[in-house]
Amino acid sequence: MGQFLPMRLLQFSTSHYCRKARLGLGFKQMTYTVENLTPGLHALKVKPLTGLTTLPVLLPETEGLPQAIADSTRILKFLETYCPEPALLPPEDSLQREIWSLEDWLDESIGVATRFVYYDFRAKAGKHLDPSLSSQVVIQIVRRQYGMTPARVQLAAERLDTALAFLEQRWQPGVWLVGDRFTVADLTAAALLSPLARIPNYRAQYPWLFEQIGRVHQLCGETLPPGLEPSDGAHDPLTA
């Protein structure tokens, strides 16, 4: 059953952290609207609400609930408390601790590494995906904002290789990251690694990753990320 509450998600439409929040909302079958903010100008709206400048931010817009919840991790914790079923966590405390540790690693380290590798690709070999001046200007601004020097991009790529070697051992069809069911850990991995779907090297080297990302999106009723949408297949030699 859907939850007919008018929650609002403030987001950047292309952000993988915002995708993570949408996957959580989708899994819980919440009714919500999204408001896409413009990078840069977003801070004027978001900072007075949360004291932070990052998106996603969830506005429950219901009396008795917090006015604004900043950060995708807090959004998932809020959803799990507010709407316990279907559950995103198993009942065992020890498994929950493992899940939140994995979630924190994926969120703080791997999501950032993905961002570095993705924007580096979009500025170089993947420039053809959108060579327009406006897109390339945005990409350059993001690269400068996050200090994406070649040395730091290289470190990020190495961090991703280590992470994917670890995930490959335990994230295969029918097998979830922790315990025997889909949890916050799977949702977070799917969202924060999803930008790699645009990068041919990753598509060729880690086919299991994109199958798993697709499964998680299906489970959460969320549109597939760019690179995995059915319409992309016709133009993508790797999936043809």
Ligand X SMILES: N[C@@H](CCC(=O)N[C@@H](CS)C(=O)NCC(=O)O)C(=O)O
Q: How far is the CB of 90 from ligand X (least distance, A)?
A: 22
Among 7, 17, 202, 213, binds ligand X (CB under 6 A): 17
Closest C-alpha to 92, from 183, 4, 20: 183
Q: How far is the CB of 42 from ligand X (least distance, A)?
A: 7
**Which residues, at least 6 apart from 90, have a Cβ–Cβ distance to it below 8 Å?**
96, 99, 178, 179, 181, 183
- Of 3 and 54, the one with the shorter C-beta distance to ligand X is 54
Query: Token pair of 133, please?
Result: 């001046």
Provide the mask over 125-164, with x wherever binding to ligand X is found by CB under 6 A and - wherever it is not: ----------------------------------------
Among 9, 10, 15, 202, binds ligand X (CB under 6 A): 15
Q: How far apart are CA 83 and CA 28, in angstroms?
A: 7
- Of 53 and 201, the one with the shorter C-beta distance to ligand X is 53
Which range in 12-20, 81-89, 170-178, 217-225 contacts ligand X by CB under 6 A?
A: 12-20
Q: How far is the CB of 107 from ligand X (least distance, A)?
A: 5
- The letter for the amino acid at 162 is T
Provide the mask over 53-92, with x wherever binding to ligand X is found by CB under 6 A and - wherever it is not: xxxx--------------xxx-------------------
- 90-109 residues in contact with ligand X (CB under 6 A) are 107
- Of 47 and 127, the one with the shorter C-beta distance to ligand X is 47
Compute CA distances 188 → 34, 73, 144, 166, 171, whole Å. 19, 9, 26, 15, 13
Three-state SS letters, 92-146: CHHHHHHHHHHHHHHHHHHHHHHHHHHHHHHHCCCHHHCCCHHHHHHHHHHHHHC
Query: Token pair of 54, please?
Result: 């990052």
Query: Token pair of 238, please?
Result: 């790797």
- 26-45 residues in contact with ligand X (CB under 6 A) are 43
Closest C-alpha to 171, from 210, 226, 145: 210
Residues making contact with ligand X (CB under 6 A): 12, 15, 17, 43, 53-56, 71-73, 107
